[in-house]
Structure 1
Amino acid sequence: MKPGARRHKPRGGPGRTAGPPVELVIETIGGEGDGVAPGPAFVPFTLPGERVLATGAGERRELLQVLQPSEDRVVPPCPHFGTCGGCALQHWAHDPYLAWKVERLAGTLARQQIETEILAPFAAGPATRRRLALHARRGGRETARLGFKARKSWDLVEIGVCPIADPAIQAAIPALKRLAAPLFEHPKSAPTLHVTLTASGLDVDISGVERKSGGLSADARVQLAERAAEADFARVTIDGEVAYQARAPQVRFGQAVVALPPGAFLQATPQADVAMAAFVAEAAAGAGRIADLYCGVGTFTFRLAEVAQVYAADFAPEAIRALGGALAAAPGLHGVTAEARDLVRRPVLAEELKKTDVAVFDPPRAGAAEQTAELARSAVGRVIGVSCNPATFARDARTLIDAGFALDRVLPVDQFLWSPHIELVGVFSR
């Protein structure tokens, strides 16, 4: 029997009636990472070509046993895989897994009638994630239960290890469980610890603590600060409000060192951050003036400012303040003008882009429909789009293409390892 060819405990959902076990042959992998058999029937933790025994009714089934495993099946590296909802594809060998992600990206573009050169993907490895959102539930007096939500459930899977996370975050799990213990004074509190590894140490922003009752008591705040100090965390905040700080959390972008605001967005892995920024800067080479739209705290801004003058805009004033605060100590830049601006309600207009050669946009998952419409109207010669959602990227790309741009090339980026998600950077030219 090949690795992974074993029985699986069936999991049922609310209102689900389990039918008799049936044999199914998996043909493809669906968008959420489940295997798809004719019908269709979706079976998690299966691979193309496998013959499996499944239970359940309707389209959603549960795996009982792999009867004939694929040659691409491997032993999942995490002991929590199968119950934890964080990963879907640890049982798949790396090369076919990555090829599937790239094929999905190409298919998403094709649905908008877009063909382009898709470059070899960048793939982050295990133990590289610098950001995790860990859910906490009441445990004992000294430690809380900490982990991820179970697959297709609100239940918590308490974790001891997480193979995707940086070793520094993994090593801090016991301390994070202690940190979370004082957060349950109110029965409605359901805290989430947003943990970010920075050059200064761990930065923890806590959400989900009940505030209507007045928030944490003074005693609980003292306990929180004491436990943060014991663990040598850089900072702990509650919904952005500082509860403890030993050092300002910092991250480097090119020549700049930025002091992060609480809860600030960062690329999930520093390796992907560097690779994407290098790709964007190379694509912007030769520009005289660059617009960096949805710039955040400067993920691309500072590398772009080594190429040309940059106008940077983002909806978050705290991100713009952090970016601006790093400018004075960053050598070798051509100059940056930064503005807090809602690019949905007030996109940078085509007329404002008259002297801009290159525009970069890196929006949230909803995409940049309003800003893309202005880029399409503008005289900008090159546009670089960064996206965590290929579907909204394809929609926005269609707007640019219809206005006379061509999508020259796309770099797929896999930094959410063993999940169905794929990111990308696309380069457009007139």
Structure 2
Amino acid sequence: MADFEAHIDKVGFQGDGITAGGLIVPMTLPGERVLARQGKERPELVEVIMASPERVTPPCPHFSACGGCTLQHWDLAAYSAWKHEVVVAQLRRGGLETEVLPGFTTPTHSRRRVGLHARKQGNQVQIGFKARRSWSLVPIEVCVISDPAIVASLPMLRQLAAPLFEHPKSAPVLHVTASLTGLDIDISGVERTKSGGLSADARMQIAMAAGEAGFARVTMGEDILYQVRQPMIRFGKATVSLPIGSFLQATPQAEAAMAALVSDSVAGAKKVADLFCGAGTFTFPLAETAVVYAADGAATSIAALKNAMASAPGLKTITPEVRDLFRRPMVAEEMKGFDAIVFDPPRAGAEAQAFEIARSGVAHAVAVSCNLQTFVRDAKILVNAGFSLDRVTPIDQFLWSAHVELVGVFSR
């Protein structure tokens, strides 16, 4: 198919350039004139004929092939302004008008949690990220968004992955977390062989590779393949043992920014509920000034929270509970006596919990969200019940992606 010229009008919510006629051309910026070619699913950029003054040289040599980042070619100030406008537009589309404060943008070399795919080609094992809109692997040697400890360990991670291909259909993913005590690697995507899990030889090779690399822990599901130190994380004044495969904010800087926003938003509260609390991301900072009820559906996270309470003396009382907040949300009657509710649900949002907050007499609520669509849905439940959405702060935790998170503050 012949190449064609296109003029880019704007960047859409997914981070791709869009023409005035609605044609999507990835890797392009507003005001650019480009040469494009129709691919299998959508046009692909062939050449930038007239570049935007906001176009910059991407800092990563893997950019454009690797699917991990999609917007490194955009000047950081313009890119950040676009993310701010995405939040404003999505809220407005949902009928929500509020003050959207300047956002927080996470710095480079700060991602402490990544998922590295491993593939075997002949006798060689490669690790990296998936290509854009493809299952193909892009092997990486550097990563400008990741913690330097992860990047430095890429050769050792390749050695660790080598014994994982005993089954021909295995497509391992190394979920790597940089903890205070070393790298924690949780492995998924390994198919079971006829004899069951990994062979004794494979397990020994993994343990040897992990030992030589100085990793803290290697797990596969609930199976601990190697551990020399417990991976530890700091939440406020508490030092927390990281449960296997547990949720953790992607960067410590974004986590600190969100924790400060949450704590500031409930300043003066004497009793706070922290719902979907995980292992205590916000619980411990909140407990510096308020009594906290902390609930989450993950038993391992609550156990880690409980165990960490002794590491942070001087806090107010924390009452943890394992609770499926989707099936058994904290109901309005239980909220009597609470000054504020904080909730940080997964991408599915917290619809059932939002209805209970709406029914309650609680005066303040703070929502931390990783999904604009479900945030809008849940926020409308609160607003329709008499809450005001006072302000929203965008959090750009996944640098150079189209993903944006936020902290929303509500009051009666």
Cross-structure match for 2:141:
160
**Alpha-carbon distance in structure 1 between the residues aligned to 2:377 and 2:91:** 9
In the alignment, structure 1 residue 386 sits paired with structure 2 residue 368: yes
> Residue 164 of structure 2: which of 183, 206, 226 is its match?
183
Cross-structure match for 1:115:
97
In the alignment, structure 1 residue 98 sits paired with structure 2 residue 80: yes
In the alignment, structure 1 residue 280 sits paired with structure 2 residue 262: yes
Cross-structure match for 1:20:
2
TM-score, normalised by the number of residues in structure 2 = 0.98
**Alpha-carbon distance in structure 2 between the residues aligned to 1:54 and 1:421:** 25
In the alignment, structure 1 residue 36 sits paired with structure 2 residue 35: no
Cross-structure match for 1:265:
247
Q: Given residue 356 of structure 1, which amino acid in structure 2 is its aligned partner?
A: F
Cross-structure match for 1:247:
229
- Residue pair 1:284, 1:307 contacting (<8 A) in 2 also: no
TM-score, normalised by the number of residues in structure 1 = 0.94
Matches within 5 A, 1:65-104: 65-104=47-86
Tell me the CA shift for residue 139 of structure 1. 4.1
**Alpha-carbon distance in structure 2 between the residues aligned to 1:161 and 1:151:** 17
Tell me the CA shift for residue 140 of structure 1. 5.8
Name the SS of the counterpart of 1:168 in structure 2: helix
Cross-structure match for 1:418:
400
Tell me the CA shift for residue 57 of structure 1. 6.3
In the alignment, structure 1 residue 310 sits paired with structure 2 residue 286: no
Tell me the CA shift for residue 38 of structure 1. 2.9
**Alpha-carbon distance in structure 2 between the residues aligned to 1:271 and 1:58:** 39
Moved over 2 A (4+): none
- Residue pair 1:40, 1:59 contacting (<8 A) in 2 also: no
**Alpha-carbon distance in structure 2 between the residues aligned to 1:162 and 1:240:** 29
- Residue pair 2:5, 2:34 contacting (<8 A) in 1 also: yes
Tell me the CA shift for residue 240 of structure 1. 3.0
Tell me the CA shift for residue 338 of structure 1. 0.5
- Residue pair 1:344, 1:368 contacting (<8 A) in 2 also: yes
Q: How many residues align?
A: 411
**Alpha-carbon distance in structure 2 between the residues aligned to 1:97 and 1:144:** 35
Q: Deviations along 1:99-154, whole A, 9 cap, x unmatched?
A: 1011011111111211111111111111110000000011465x621001111111
In the alignment, structure 1 residue 210 sits paired with structure 2 residue 191: yes
Tell me the CA shift for residue 39 of structure 1. 2.7
Tell me the CA shift for residue 212 of structure 1. 5.6
Which sections of structure 1, spanning at least 5 residues, go unmatched?
1-18
Larger mean Cα displacement after TM superposition, 243-252 or 210-219? 210-219
- Residue pair 1:41, 1:58 contacting (<8 A) in 2 also: no
- Residue pair 1:137, 1:191 contacting (<8 A) in 2 also: yes
Q: Given residue 114 of structure 1, which amino acid in structure 2 is its aligned partner?
A: L
> Residue 171 of structure 1: which of 141, 152, 156 is its match?
152
Name the SS of the counterpart of 2:288 in structure 1: coil
Tell me the CA shift for residue 241 of structure 1. 1.7
Q: Given residue 128 of structure 2, which amino acid in structure 1 is its aligned partner?
A: G
Name the SS of the counterpart of 2:21 in structure 1: coil
Matches within 5 A, 1:333-352: 333-352=315-334
Q: Deviations along 1:194-236, whole A, 9 cap, x unmatched?
A: 0000000000000011126311001100000000000000000
**Alpha-carbon distance in structure 1 between the residues aligned to 2:278 and 2:35:** 47
Cross-structure match for 1:330:
312
Name the SS of the counterpart of 1:103 in structure 2: helix
Q: Deviations along 1:370-405, whole A, 9 cap, x unmatched?
A: 100000001111000000111110110000000000
Overall identity of the aligned pairs, in % = 59
CA 1:392–1:232 in structure 2 vs 1: closer, same or farther (change >3 Å)?
Answer: same
Cross-structure match for 1:5:
none
Measured on the aligned residues, the alpha-carbon RMSD in Å equals 1.1
